[in-house]
């Protein structure tokens, strides 16, 4: 094949050696990646494939809209709760249900809690091993590690040489046992790993600290939602009542519960400031010259915005996480985003395992059609049930290709921060400028794999501050005599209109998330989700634009093409969530969703 | 195999004293609800056993089971992974990917034939030749069968592997199928729930390692120790049910007083799980305590039992709606009568449940 120039500015050349990575591990769900590498080891063509489908939307048809949060929550157990929140918002939007102030604060605290939990678990347990070599940590001097720890984070109490020696001993016994468990077959002698042993030991230690911490973080969900993963939500508010003064307070949100929430918020904040951010800076410092992976982030970023200050107001000015779209690399102009506009969000399926009946069409989610068509292209190698190589000129993924006004977009923490930065969002600008100054890097360094990883850490810290704000707001409101947590005026379906439509939007940890619902006679007539990893992991569209994963892999140098360290590094920086992205299709050519624009 | 260490070796070499080790064994016994006399047995087991290899595969799922597992507080997930089992393949957490990940799987199967535990999260879809879930270019169901062939036993984590869960809810477009319907020649332990409670997950694993046997299972294949009783049986709001004190609307006065959520659709009376005893996330709370009814997530087909807000009694097969309301009305004056009615209802439901289970087995 000759070189193909994509409309979004990439030169694809699949003449080099083909490398297949399947399964891509340390992600949520199932994913495959294929790349072509030239003689010098540079990636010149990238193919990203979602390899699972569950069919949630067809299952939702005919159900009670008040139950939809529970179904959609099960789209993903990693970003647990965010689909539920999006769902109750969509139902409330459709039925004109407003929620009380306390419910808004509690939902925000829960959503922010998820952002922090997800970012921490992502960095330490899904992403760190792309940068950190735990085997190399065995060579570290515990005393020097202690000095490093104190230098990068003077306030972190766990920093003695003895502490690091203990962890190192434990690690040594583990490795010496011959049962390497999760570290088995890692790429530990690959030259792509650049950290000195002391930094490896420090980060490996924090892998374990974060594993202990994450089970504490989620207790905020447990208090308000009864369990985690998959806490409970409620259309019209939140299910937990507040009772701080009277008899029966033990069965409600009371002083003890509030104190527990407050202490967890403090704990998260300490970890973010004493461990997470310093680690990202320290590790990033050793990889400063590895600035691959920017992909679409410097060109096209999309954010829906989230965390409303006042309840029931989703205008951009009322949201702490920014909303907007940046296109063509022009940071001077941020476009507003309207999920209801049929011309803005559209999905294409020419390279996805679906058909719209005719080629080249893009459909708004409210007008969407989902009809499966699993077939491999003529140049694919292998068989239908034993794929060796995909043919990206044909259909090649269970993920659709969503586009914003025709543009392939990146979503997620970096996209939010790019949009926020471009909009002059004060907190975001201060954080980004501060980080770049500390690390002595130009703004362009932000548009990279590491920039994505850093934006996530910055956001985790920012979310911690927002959590404090909403906790204080909740307590102040209770103090002022308002204990209300649910609005039940329209709980009974007999109060609903015969037909209604709504949209709910959030910023999931991985990016912009939207649910579109249509209700008829008290039941769900249609339901459609367009999720972050559908944006980021999308295949090519009709015009040939490649998606964010694919773009980010382009022109990356692989140290050893047989060992996909660099591919994992960049894909992981998006925190892929395949169960989310690939829930939308149907088998048997059945038409699943057809919703008219209102 | 000679270099493989026992738990005890590992713990001692980590600098853990004999005394701490015994304390750890006591805590494990307590967590499992075992008598103190069992402590030496646990200690002996840990002193002599190598770490059991575990292969953890993922089908159609949402990863909530893995997420729950890492929330375990006693034992801590890191201790399970570093010192109790050898998690040799788990695509959610392992360092390697692609060919190297597949090699790790093969290596473990070959090396520990008949001696590893296969943990399954999610389930295989059977429509479209299984290609609704692809691993390594092939249908997940192939990987599942391959890994199951030489497994010592299989743990079906969560509602997906045990019963099918949300993707198997009507009309089950992918034909998502629970593990026991695909693998029929291996012992399978179902640990249902969406997800299961973290300490129940690690409790089941620890039990198997400690006693070197499968837990006692009920007729549906669930460990009796954690799934033997209904949430309602041990619910701290049960006295309010018996007294006829119910939440009538979200956030009403009764909700704030912590009354029974039965009328709000709570499925506690028909759900077998340990939520009201072990509780969630280190015992912090459980759904009912936080004001929402149980949605019955550890029961077979819970997605297709009507709305989560329908009263259990709305299921006509139970036919107890009137009784429950009568309980409510009579309670103010005649608490004792309410209890008697409830006892009768309980017995009726227990019988119903058995009938349902029997049908399952046919």
* pLDDT per position as a tens digit, A311-332: 999 999 999 999 999 999 999 9
pLDDT of residue B37: 79
Neighbours of A6 (CB within 10 A): 18
**Disruptive mutation site among B256, B279, B294, B311 for chain A (greatest number of A CBs within 10 Å):** B256
Nearest CA to A548 among A370, A396, A353, A415?
A: A415
- For residue A431, what pLDDT band results from cuts at 50, 70 and 90? very high
User: Is the Cβ–Cβ distance between B53 and B108 less than 8 Å?
Assistant: yes
8 Å CB contact of A80 and B137: no
Which residues in A lie closer than 8 A to residue B98 (C-beta atoms)?
20-24, 564
Q: Which residues contact A358 (CB under 8 A, 6 or more apart)?
A: none
pLDDT of residue B284: 97
8 Å CB contact of B174 and A587: yes
User: Is the Cβ–Cβ distance between A421 and A430 less than 8 Å?
Assistant: no
Tell me the mean pLDDT in the region A115-143: 96
Shortest distance between the Cα of A53 and any Cα of chain B, in A, equals: 5
8 Å CB contact of B98 and A67: no
pLDDT of residue B346: 45
Per the prediction, chain A carries an average pLDDT of 93
pLDDT of residue A249: 75
- For residue B217, what pLDDT band results from cuts at 50, 70 and 90? very high
- For residue B36, what pLDDT band results from cuts at 50, 70 and 90? confident
Tell me the mean pLDDT in the region A411-426: 98
Nearest CA to B218 among B172, B285, B162?
A: B162
**Disruptive mutation site among B6, B10, B158, B250 for chain A (greatest number of A CBs within 10 Å):** B250
8 Å CB contact of B284 and A260: yes
pLDDT of residue B82: 85
Out of A27-31, B106-110, B168-172, B173-177, least confident range: A27-31
Size of interface A-B (CB pairs under 8 A): 346
Looking only at the bridges linking them, the beta strands covering B52-58 and B116-121 are parallel
Go through A466-495 and write b for each residue having 16 or more CB atoms within 10 A of its CB, e for each that does not.
bbbbbbebbbebbeeeebbbbbbebbeeee
Tell me the mean pLDDT in the region A97-115: 98
**Disruptive mutation site among A21, A48, A54, A252 for chain B (greatest number of B CBs within 10 Å):** A54
- For residue A581, what pLDDT band results from cuts at 50, 70 and 90? low
pLDDT of residue B32: 67
Residue ranges of the alpha helices (H) in chain B? 7-13, 18-31, 39-48, 64-69, 77-79, 98-111, 140-149, 158-163, 198-211, 224-227, 238-242, 253-256, 321-331, 335-361
Which residues in B lie closer than 8 A to residue A236 (C-beta atoms)?
250
Out of A101-110, A368-377, B210-219, least confident range: A368-377
Digit-coded pLDDT (tens) for A186-213: 999 999 999 999 999 999 999 999 999 9
pLDDT of residue B5: 57
Tell me the mean pLDDT in the region B280-285: 96
User: Is the Cβ–Cβ distance between A291 and A319 less than 8 Å?
Assistant: no
Give dist(CA A143, CA A125) in Å, integer: 25
- In chain B, what are the helix, strand and coil shares in percent, each to the nearest 5? 45, 15, 40
Out of A82-86, A341-345, A576-580, least confident range: A576-580
Higher-confidence residue of B96 and B290: namely: B290
- Domain spans in chain B, listed from the N-terminal domain onward: 51-227, 232-361
8 Å CB contact of B307 and A66: yes
Which residues in A lie closer than 8 A to residue B298 (C-beta atoms)?
none
- For residue B15, what pLDDT band results from cuts at 50, 70 and 90? low
Residue A149 has pLDDT above 80, yes or no: yes
Q: If residue A37 lies in a helix (H) or strand (E), which one and from where to where?
A: strand A31-37
If you measure CA to CA, which chain B residue comes closest to A175? B82
Digit-coded pLDDT (tens) for B292-345: 999 999 999 999 999 999 998 643 333 333 333 333 343 333 333 334 444 444
Query: Which domains occur in chain A, in start order?
Result: 53-68+299-447+489-554+573-598 (1.10.645.10), 98-293+449-487 (1.10.645.10)
User: Is the Cβ–Cβ distance between A187 and A133 less than 8 Å?
Assistant: no
8 Å CB contact of B173 and A568: no
Which residues in A lie closer than 8 A to residue B127 (C-beta atoms)?
587-588
Residue A460 has pLDDT above 60, yes or no: yes
**Disruptive mutation site among B4, B53, B66, B67 for chain A (greatest number of A CBs within 10 Å):** B67
User: Is the Cβ–Cβ distance between B236 and A233 less than 8 Å?
Assistant: no
Residue A127 has pLDDT above 80, yes or no: yes
8 Å CB contact of A59 and B167: yes
Shortest distance between the Cα of B169 and any Cα of chain A, in A, equals: 6
Higher-confidence residue of B188 and A593: namely: B188
Shortest distance between the Cα of B51 and any Cα of chain A, in A, equals: 8
Give dist(CA A453, CA B18) in Å, integer: 43
Nearest CA to B64 among B224, B256, B297?
A: B297
If you measure CA to CA, which chain B residue comes closest to A19? B98
8 Å CB contact of B250 and A488: yes
Per the prediction, chain B carries an average pLDDT of 83
If you measure CA to CA, which chain A residue comes closest to B280? A227
Phi-psi region of B291 (alpha: psi -120 to 50; beta: other; left: phi over 0): left
If you measure CA to CA, which chain B residue comes closest to A580? B62
- For residue B40, what pLDDT band results from cuts at 50, 70 and 90? confident
Which residues in A lie closer than 8 A to residue B124 (C-beta atoms)?
none
If you measure CA to CA, which chain A residue comes closest to B252? A241
pLDDT of residue A435: 97
- For residue A371, what pLDDT band results from cuts at 50, 70 and 90? confident
If you measure CA to CA, which chain A residue comes closest to B63? A77
Crossing angle between the packed helical segments A197-217 and A142-152, to the nearest 10 degrees: 60
Give dist(CA B162, CA B168) in Å, integer: 11
Angle at A495 between CA A491 and CA A500, to 5 degrees: 95
Digit-coded pLDDT (tens) for A519-543: 999 999 999 899 999 999 999 999 9
Residue A286 has pLDDT above 50, yes or no: yes
Residue A593 has pLDDT above 50, yes or no: no
Same fold yes or no, B51-227 and B232-361 = no
User: Is the Cβ–Cβ distance between A410 and A416 less than 8 Å?
Assistant: no
8 Å CB contact of A25 and B94: yes
- For residue A43, what pLDDT band results from cuts at 50, 70 and 90? very high
8 Å CB contact of B169 and A22: no
Out of A535-544, A575-584, B256-265, least confident range: A575-584
ipTM of the complex: 0.92
Higher-confidence residue of B333 and A560: namely: A560
- For residue B47, what pLDDT band results from cuts at 50, 70 and 90? low
- For residue A375, what pLDDT band results from cuts at 50, 70 and 90? very high
Shortest distance between the Cα of B334 and any Cα of chain A, in A, equals: 22
Residue A422 has pLDDT above 60, yes or no: yes
Q: Enter the pTM of the model.
A: 0.90
Phi-psi region of B301 (alpha: psi -120 to 50; beta: other; left: phi over 0): left
Tell me the mean pLDDT in the region B188-211: 95
Which residues in A lie closer than 8 A to residue B245 (C-beta atoms)?
none
Residue A389 has pLDDT above 80, yes or no: yes
Its CATH class, for the domain covering B232-361, is few secondary structures
Q: Any idea which fold B51-227 has?
A: Rossmann fold (3.40.50)
Comparing CB atoms, the residue among B66, B125, B292 nearest residue A232 is: B292
**Disruptive mutation site among B14, B81, B291 for chain A (greatest number of A CBs within 10 Å):** B291
Residue B349 has pLDDT above 60, yes or no: no
């Amino acid at each position: 094949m000759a070189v193909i120039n994509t409309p979004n500015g990439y030169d694809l050349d699949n003449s080099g050696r083909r490398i297949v990575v399947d399964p891509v591990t340390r992600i949520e769900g199932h994913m495959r990646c294929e790349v072509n590498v030239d003689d010098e080891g540079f990636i010149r063509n990238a193919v990203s494939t979602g390899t699972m489908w569950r069919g949630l939307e067809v299952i939702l048809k005919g159900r009670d809209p008040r139950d939809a949060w529970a179904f959609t929550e099960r789209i993903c157990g990693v970003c647990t709760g965010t689909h539920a929140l999006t769902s109750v918002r969509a139902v409330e939007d459709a039925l004109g249900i407003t929620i009380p102030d306390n419910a808004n604060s509690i939902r925000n605290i829960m959503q922010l809690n998820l952002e922090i939990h997800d970012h921490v678990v992502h960095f330490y347990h899904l992403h760190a091993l792309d940068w950190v070599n735990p085997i190399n940590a065995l060579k570290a001097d515990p005393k020097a590690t202690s000095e490093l720890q104190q230098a990068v984070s003077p306030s972190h109490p766990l920093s003695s040489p003895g502490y690091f020696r203990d962890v190192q001993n434990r690690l040594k016994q583990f490795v010496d046992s011959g049962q390497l468990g999760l570290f088995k077959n890692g790429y530990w002698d690959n030259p792509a790993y650049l950290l000195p042993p002391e930094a490896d030991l420090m980060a490996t230690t924090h892998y374990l600290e974060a594993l202990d911490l994450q089970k504490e973080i989620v207790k905020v969900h447990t208090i308000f939602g009864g369990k985690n993963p998959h806490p409970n939500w409620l259309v019209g508010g939140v299910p937990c009542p507040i009772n701080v003064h009277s008899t029966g307070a033990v069965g409600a949100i009371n002083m003890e519960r509030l104190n527990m929430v407050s202490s967890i918020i403090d704990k998260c904040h300490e970890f973010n400031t004493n461990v997470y951010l310093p680690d990202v800076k320290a590790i990033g410092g050793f990889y400063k010259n590895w600035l691959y992976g920017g992909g679409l982030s410097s060109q096209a970023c999309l954010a829906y915005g989230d965390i409303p200050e006042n309840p029931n107001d989703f205008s951009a000015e009322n949201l702490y996480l920014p909303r907007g779209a940046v296109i063509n690399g022009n940071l001077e102009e941020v476009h507003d985003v309207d999920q209801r506009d049929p011309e803005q969000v559209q999905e294409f399926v020419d390279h996805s395992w679906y058909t719209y009946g005719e080629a080249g069409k893009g459909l708004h989610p409210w007008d969407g059609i989902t009809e499966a068509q699993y077939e491999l292209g003529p140049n694919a190698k292998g068989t239908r049930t034993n794929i060796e190589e995909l043919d990206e000129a044909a259909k090649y993924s269970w993920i659709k290709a969503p586009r914003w006004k025709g543009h392939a977009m990146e979503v997620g923490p970096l996209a939010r921060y790019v949009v926020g930065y471009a909009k002059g969002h004060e907190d975001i600008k201060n954080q980004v400028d501060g980080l770049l100054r500390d690390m002595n890097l130009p703004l362009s360094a932000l548009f990279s794999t590491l920039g994505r990883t850093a934006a996530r850490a910055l956001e985790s810290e920012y979310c911690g501050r927002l959590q404090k704000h909403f906790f204080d707001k909740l307590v102040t409101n209770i103090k002022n005599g308002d204990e209300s947590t649910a609005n039940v005026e329209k709980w009974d379906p007999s109060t609903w209109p015969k037909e209604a439509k709504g949209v709910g939007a959030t910023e999931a940890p991985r990016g912009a998330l939207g649910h579109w619902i249509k209700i008829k006679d008290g039941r769900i007539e249609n339901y459609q989700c367009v999720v972050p990893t559908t944006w980021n992991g999308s295949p090519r569209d009709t015009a040939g634009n490649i998606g964010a994963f694919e773009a980010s892999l382009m022109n990356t140098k692989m140290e050893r093409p047989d060992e996909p360290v660099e591919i994992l590094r960049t894909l992981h920086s998006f925190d892929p969530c395949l169960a989310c992205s690939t829930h939308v299709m149907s088998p048997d050519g059945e038409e699943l969703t057809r919703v008219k624009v209102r | 195999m000679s270099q493989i260490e026992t738990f005890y070796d590992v713990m001692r070499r980590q600098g853990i004293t004999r005394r701490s080790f015994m304390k750890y064994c006591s805590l494990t016994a307590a967590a499992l609800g075992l008598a103190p006399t069992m402590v030496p047995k646990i200690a002996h087991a840990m002193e002599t056993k190598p770490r059991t290899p575990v292969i953890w595969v993922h089908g159609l799922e949402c990863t909530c089971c893995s997420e729950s597992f890492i929330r375990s507080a006693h034992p801590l997930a890191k201790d399970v992974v570093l010192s109790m089992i050898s998690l040799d393949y788990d695509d959610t957490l392992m360092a390697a990917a692609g060919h190297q990940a597949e090699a790790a799987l093969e290596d473990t199967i070959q090396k520990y034939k008949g001696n590893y535990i296969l943990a399954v999260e999610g389930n295989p879809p059977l429509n479209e030749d299984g290609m609704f879930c692809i691993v390594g270019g092939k249908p997940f169901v192939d990987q599942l069968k391959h890994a199951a062939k030489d497994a010592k036993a299989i743990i079906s984590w969560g509602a997906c592997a045990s019963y099918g869960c949300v993707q198997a809810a009507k009309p089950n477009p992918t034909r998502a199928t629970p593990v026991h319907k695909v693998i029929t020649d291996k012992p399978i332990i179902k640990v249902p729930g969406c997800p299961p409670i973290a300490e129940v997950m690690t409790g089941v694993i620890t039990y198997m390692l400690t006693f070197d046997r499968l837990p006692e299972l009920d007729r549906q294949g669930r460990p009796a120790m954690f799934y033997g009783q209904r949430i309602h049986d041990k619910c701290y709001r049960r006295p309010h049910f018996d007294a006829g004190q119910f939440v009538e609307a979200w956030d009403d006065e009764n909700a704030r007083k912590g009354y029974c959520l039965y009328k709000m659709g709570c499925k506690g009376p028909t759900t077998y799980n340990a939520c009201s005893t072990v509780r969630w996330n280190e015992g912090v709370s459980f759904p009912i305590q936080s004001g929402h009814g149980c949605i019955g997530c550890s029961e077979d087909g819970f997605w297709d039992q009507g709305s989560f807000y329908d009263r259990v009694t709305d299921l006509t097969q139970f036919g107890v709606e009137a009784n429950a309301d009568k309980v409510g009305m009579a309670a103010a004056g005649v608490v004792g009568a309410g209890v008697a009615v409830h006892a009768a209802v309980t017995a009726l439901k227990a019988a119903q449940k058995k009938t349902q289970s029997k049908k399952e087995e046919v």
